[in-house]
Amino acid sequence: MSLSLIALLVVFPAAMAYAAASDLVSMTISNRVCLILIATFAVCAVLLGLSWTEIGWHLAAGGLVLVVCFGFFAAGWIGGGDAKLAAATALWFGFDQLMPYLTFAGIGGGVLTLAILQLRAGPLPAMAQNWSWARRLHAANQGVPYGIALAFSALFVLPDTALWHAAIGI
């Protein structure tokens, strides 16, 4: 199995799963996750033979998402980890799959937000009272762990990306 295929089948999904779980439990997404995604993209891009132009477009997509999402962060709409995760993920997708990724993330994030608001409308179950992450998630003054929606939408869109197609030879 090639290194690029391992990155696509193991590293990318593992980083997304870790980001989602971390955001759920602690409302934080480690910078390491984003750095791993960026470094792994660089390795994949080279191993899969992406042209400098293609790499440039992927970098532009990641940069654009970073700028827009940091505007959202400055406005208090999303967390900084969410902004960095969205940008690092956009780097993998480029402009080709950026809109599907953002669309699914928006829809998934909306559903997640509604579910959490519904959860917060009632009392926290007694069993969950001992879990600090459940209390934090239930607290009305806390945000929504949007990294969950970002991660699931990334995993949903990944098989349609140019990197995936290049890795499996389509």
* Residue-wise pLDDT tens digits, 43-74: 999 888 889 999 999 999 999 999 999 999 99
pLDDT band at 143 (very low <50, low <70, confident <90, very high): confident
Query: Residue 20 is encoded by which pair of tokens?
Result: 């989602």
* CB count in 10 Å sphere of residue 123: 9
Report the C-alpha gap between 62 and 66 in whole angstroms: 6
Query: What is the pTM assigned to this prediction?
Result: 0.90
CA-based radius of gyration for the chain: 17
pLDDT band at 168 (very low <50, low <70, confident <90, very high): confident
- The interaxial angle of helices 80-93 and 147-157, nearest 10 deg, is 10
Report pLDDT for 142.
86
Report the C-alpha gap between 146 and 82 in whole angstroms: 7
